[in-house]
Structures are given as structure tokens and as C-alpha cells.
């Protein structure tokens, strides 16, 4: 019996099971990590002034969330598999609300970094849980997720990521930087209420403590966190490099790889990544694509406030063209029938935009600054939905702040080189699906259907007509 009946019933299933009440709570969850990642970009200078901290010290507010997210996302994703994505989603929202309260009362920069770590854990659980709920719904129905429903999640994440600096600048300018933490409280509580009301309950679970310890690769988590922390300790002190950290980091990465390759259920399945080259290349492409606008975003905001002497609110407004461009391109990316073209166009726009940043100075006309940085919004928006589609097709179902013109230009040079590398990488990537997305999804569903029929067949070989 085929998984998908006819086009009319499939369309009706998509409307019923992927409607606004189902998508909205998941879209709100996909906003939490990007909005907290980017709002702080225009608040770093005021935070540093209040705590009398250097740029490198406030940089740990950025690094703390990213390091935590890198460790917590796979862990929280695994917990979602064990205990149910809805339960982990609600737990994550509680942690986000607590972090929002903690940011208001944090007495020191160190305490604020700890709040960002807690925020990283909470937001890292919300996003994979939301995506897991989405995937479970699609798998239970045996249909491909609606393209526009996936685009809604992408648009929610990309728009908040893009508008984060402007929103952070406005909130900081009007209410002070503490408010960029407190906004998480109502956002988390509203999302939790909608999850209670509209998201289907999880299947009952009986996972015990012993199974949890067996399933969660604690040594792998510790090794991965230590490897990332040692690497970040080197990257955060490039003015006075800690060269000895490089061999230390390399040794820990080696231990992590060997441990993961030997464990039956590792924290990160390096064997799967080695075997699934298309997925590995997609993850590398995502890293490079997002690294460039994020570096520009943080460096750009601090440069505007420290060198060009813009207020936090004005600095946030200067990022609006980039935000609008990202939002528009996100919609265009959702309507694109292919995957390869958006990546190529996004990488080319990133290359041109980063090269243009080299020509900017603190006395450059504001309209020209805004026009150049707007180009960075193209890859942020255009590649979001194709990235999700590529992962859906390929994955198995189971001192960053710069305050001077010279420093800003150095950052732009590095990002220009990275953009050029990314463009070449995409052009040479033969594993990126070609052709319309629908045909690739249909091919995957047909392949899955064949495997399921083969797995449940107890009567012997089937004919072609039986399978059809």
C-alpha cells in the first residue's frame, strides 16, 4: 500500500496537520536562539562600560552562548528522543525564562556570562525539540513537510536573527541593556502556553536513569566541550596568542574523535558523518555561511558605537537594511525550486559585501554604510530554507568585537577571504542536490516506501506491481 495516496488527500493532510496552530509554537521556539545571539551585539559596548570590561572580556558573552549551544544542542536533541520533544521543549522554555530573570539581577560580568550559558542550554533545547516535533508529524503522516511550513520556521529564525541587532539597539537605548535579557521571560511563557494548547502530546516514555546514563555519552560531551573551549581560548586572544593552546586543542579533538568512533551511541556520530559525505558538506557549508554574517554583525555594531560614535539605537537602525534584505531573501529562498542556486547567489553576495566593508571608514556617509552591509543579509536569508531542505534530504531520520577602522578592515579582509572560499566550495560541491526540491523529496519518499515494504515483507520477493 503506498505511503501517499493522491495529491488532493496529501494537500488536505498538510493543511490540517501543519496549520497555523501547529506551526506557530514551533516558529516561536526557532526564534529564541537567533534573537538572543544577535540582540546582544548592540549591547556589548554599554555592558563593557558598566562592568569596566575590555572587548575581549565582553566577547565571552558571545562565546559563552555559542559554546554552550554547540554542546547542548546535540545533548538536548538526544533527550528529546528519549523523553519526548514536547517535554524537553517545555523544560527548555523554563530555563530560558529563568535566564531572563537572571540577566536582570546579574551583579558581575562573570555572572552575566553564566546567565548566557544557561540561556544557551535553554534555547538549544527549544530549537531541536521544535524541529523534532515537526519531523515526527511528517513521518507519522508519511508525507513530505509542506514547503511553506518549513519556510515559516526559517523566516521566523532568520528574521529574528536579522532584526536582532536593531531590536537590541532599541531596547538598550530605551530601557538599558538588562532588558535584552528580561524580554525572554514573556516570550518563553507565551510559547509554553501555546505548546500546552496546540502541540500534540508525546508518546508515553518509560526511560529510567540507567538508560539515560547509557544513552547520553557523558565522556564525549566533556571531551567535545573541552576541545571547543581550548580552541575558543586561543581565538579570543589573537592579540596575544596562546600558542600552546593549539596543540592542546588538537590533542583533545583527537581523543574526542577516537572515543566517538568506538562508542556505540556517541555524542556526535563521527562515523555517520564520515559515511554521509553530503550531510557533512552541508553542515560545513552552513558553518561557513553563518560564520561570515555573524562576525560582520558583531564587529559592525561595536565599530559603529566605538569608532563611529553611534548610539546603541542608531547602531541598531544601521543594521535594518541588512535585516530587511535577509527577510525578503528568506521568502525568495522559500519560493526557489532548487537548492544549489540560492547557495551560489548568497556566497557571491557575501563576497561582494565583505569586500565593500574594506572601503568603509568611521566618517563614511551613513547611507553608504547601510547599503554595503545590506548585502550581508542576502546569504542570511536566501540560504536558510535550502539549508533546511538539504538537511532534511541528507540527514538520517533517527577577540570578535573590533572597535577601530583598522581592526574592522582586518575583519572584513578575513571575511572576504572566507566568502571567496565558500563560493568556490559551493561551485565544486557535487553532493548538493540539483533540480527542483519536489523531485528530490519525492525520490526520498519513494526510496523510504520501498525500504519499508521490503522490511515488512514476509512472503518473499514482490513484483513491481506489488510495490506500486
State the pLDDT at residue 455. Answer: 42
Determine, yes or no, domain membership for 9: no
> Does some domain include residue 4?
no
Given a cut of 60, is residue 446 above it in pLDDT? no
Q: Which three cell numbers stand for residue 163?
A: 532584526
Average per-residue pLDDT in the chain? 78
Q: Domain of residue 293: give its range.
A: 275-458
State percent of the chain over pLDDT 70: 76
Q: Note the pLDDT of residue 4.
A: 43
- pLDDT for res 434: 64
What pLDDT does 359 receive? 87
Answer yes or no: do 186 and 233 share one domain: no
Does the pLDDT value for residue 83 go beyond 80?
yes
Q: How far apart are CA 391 and CA 279, in angstroms?
A: 7
Asked whether the beta carbons of 195 and 90 are under 8 A apart, the reply is yes
pLDDT score for 458: 41
Q: Residue 152 and residue 30: Cα distance in Å, rounded? A: 10
| Mean pLDDT, range 418-442, rounded to an integer | 68
pLDDT at 428 over 50: yes
Task: Supply the pLDDT for residue 305.
Answer: 84
Residue where a domain stops, chosen among 212, 228, 255: 212
Is 90 exceeded by the pLDDT of residue 135? no
In the predicted model, is pLDDT for residue 231 greater than 50? yes
CA distance 315 to 305: 7
pLDDT, greater one: 234 or 466: 234
In a domain? residue 197: yes
74 within domain boundaries: yes
Looking at per-residue pLDDT, the higher value among 238 and 167 belongs to 167
End-to-end alpha carbon distance in the chain: 8
Q: What is the CATH number of the domain that holds 120?
A: 1.20.1250.20
- Position 299 in a domain: yes
In a shared domain, residues 158 and 29: yes
233 and 182 share one domain: no
**Grid coordinates of 323:** 535585516
CA distances from 242 to 54, 285, 466 (A): 18, 28, 65
State yes or no: pLDDT of 193 exceeds 90: yes
From the CA atom positions of the chain, what is the Rg in Å? 23
Answer whether residue 138 is part of any domain: yes
Contact of 426 with 344, CB cutoff 8 Å: yes
**Residue 465 is assigned to a structural domain of this protein:** no
d(CA 43, CA 172): 6
What does the pLDDT average to over 371-382?
A: 82
Whether residue 152 has pLDDT greater than 90: no
Confidence of residue 407 (pLDDT cuts 50, 70, 90): low
Q: Give the count of domains, the chain.
A: 3
CA atoms within 13 A on the CB side of 238: 13
Per-residue model confidence (pLDDT) at position 461: 39
DSSP 405-428: HHHHHHHHHHHHHHHHHHHHHHHH
Lowest mean pLDDT among 118-122, 172-176, 399-403: 399-403
Highest mean predicted confidence (pLDDT) among 37-51, 150-164, 263-277, 296-310: 37-51
Residues 234 and 335 in one domain: no
In this predicted model, which residue has the larger pLDDT, 87 or 210?
A: 87
Residue 3 has pLDDT above 60, yes or no: no
- pLDDT band of residue 303 (cuts 50, 70, 90) is confident
CB 62 within 8 A of CB 168: no
Cell of 461: 520477493
**Closest residue by Cα to residue 407 from 260, 317, 308:** 308
Which grid coordinates are listed for 329? 531573501
In this predicted structure, what is the pLDDT of residue 281?
Answer: 75
Q: Which residue would you say has higher pLDDT here, 236 or 32?
A: 32
| Three cell numbers, residue 224 | 567535545
109 and 79 co-located in one domain = yes
- Residues 320 and 431 reside in one and the same domain: yes
Does residue 468 belong to any structural domain of this protein? no
Q: What is the dihedral of CA 333, 338, 343, 345, to 10 degrees?
A: -80
Range 389-405 average pLDDT = 50
pLDDT value of residue 361: 86
Query: What per-residue confidence (pLDDT) applies to 90?
Result: 94
Query: Where is pLDDT greater, at 271 or 142?
Result: 271
Q: Which of 288, 312, 404, 306 is nearest to 39 (CA)?
A: 312
pLDDT at 452: 39
Amino acid at each position: 500500500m503506498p505511503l501517499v495516496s493522491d495529491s488532493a488527500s496529501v494537500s488536505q493532510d498538510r493543511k490540517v496537520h501543519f496549520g497555523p496552530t501547529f506551526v506557530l509554537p514551533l516558529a516561536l521556539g526557532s526564534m529564541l536562539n537567533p534573537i538572543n545571539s544577535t540582540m546582544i551585539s548592540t549591547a556589548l559596548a554599554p555592558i563593557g562600560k558598566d562592568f569596566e570590561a575590555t572587548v575581549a572580556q565582553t566577547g565571552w558573552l558571545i562565546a559563552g552562548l555559542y559554546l554552550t549551544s554547540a554542546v547542548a544542542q546535540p545533548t538536548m536533541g538526544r533527550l528529546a528522543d528519549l523523553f519526548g520533544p514536547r517535554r524537553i521543549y517545555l523544560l527548555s522554555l523554563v530555563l530560558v525564562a529563568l535566564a531572563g530573570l537572571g540577566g536582570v539581577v546579574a551583579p558581575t560580568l562573570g555572572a552575566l556570562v553564566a546567565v548566557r550559558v544557561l540561556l544557551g542550554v535553554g534555547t538549544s533545547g527549544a530549537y531541536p525539540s521544535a524541529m523534532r516535533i515537526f519531523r515526527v508529524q511528517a513521518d507519522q503522516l508519511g508525507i513530505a513537510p509542506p514547503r511553506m511550513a518549513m519556510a515559516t520556521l526559517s523566516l521566523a529564525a532568520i528574521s529574528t536573527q536579522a532584526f536582532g541587532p536593531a531590536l537590541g539597539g532599541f531596547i538598550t537605548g530605551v530601557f538599558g541593556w538588562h532588558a535584552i535579557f528580561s524580554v525572554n521571560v514573556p516570550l518563553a511563557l507565551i510559547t509554553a502556553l501555546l505548546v500546552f494548547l496546540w502541540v500534540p502530546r508525546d508518546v508515553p516514555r518509560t526511560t529510567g536513569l540507567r538508560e539515560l546514563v547509557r544513552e547520553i555519552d557523558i565522556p564525549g560531551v566533556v571531551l567535545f566541550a573541552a576541545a571547543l573551549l581550548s580552541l575558543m581560548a586561543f581565538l579570543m586572544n589573537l592579540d596575544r596568542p596562546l600558542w600552546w593552546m593549539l596543540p592542546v586543542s588538537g590533542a583533545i579533538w583527537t581523543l574526542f574523535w577516537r572515543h566517538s568512533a568506538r562508542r556505540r551511541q556517541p555524542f556526535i556520530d563521527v562515523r555517520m558523518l564520515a559515511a554521509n559525505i553530503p550531510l557533512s558538506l552541508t553542515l560545513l557549508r552552513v558553518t561557513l555561511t553563518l560564520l561570515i554574517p555573524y562576525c560582520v554583525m558583531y564587529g559592525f555594531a561595536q565599530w559603529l558605537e566605538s569608532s563611529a560614535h553611534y548610539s546603541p539605537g542608531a547602531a541598531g537602525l544601521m543594521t535594518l537594511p541588512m535585516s530587511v534584505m535577509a527577510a525578503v531573501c528568506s521568502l525568495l529562498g522559500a519560493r526557489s525550486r532548487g537548492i544549489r542556486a540560492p547557495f551560489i547567489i548568497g556566497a557571491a553576495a557575501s563576497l561582494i559585501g565583505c569586500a565593500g566593508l574594506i572601503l568603509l571608514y568611521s566618517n563614511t556617509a551613513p547611507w553608504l554604510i547601510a547599503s554595503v552591509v545590506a548585502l550581508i543579509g542576502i546569504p542570511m536569508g536566501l540560504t536558510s530554507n535550502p539549508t533546511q531542505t538539504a538537511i532534511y534530504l541528507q540527514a538520517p531520520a533517527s577577540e570578535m568585537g573590533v572597535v577601530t577602522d583598522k581592526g574592522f578592515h582586518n575583519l572584513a579582509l578575513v571575511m572576504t577571504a572566507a566568502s571567496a572560499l565558500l563560493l568556490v566550495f559551493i561551485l565544486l560541491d557535487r553532493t548538493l542536490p540539483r533540480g527542483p526540491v519536489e523531485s528530490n523529496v519525492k525520490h526520498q519518499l519513494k526510496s523510504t516506501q520501498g525500504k519499508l515494504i521490503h522490511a515488512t515483507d514476509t512472503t518473499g520477493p514482490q513484483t513491481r506491481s506489488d510495490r506500486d
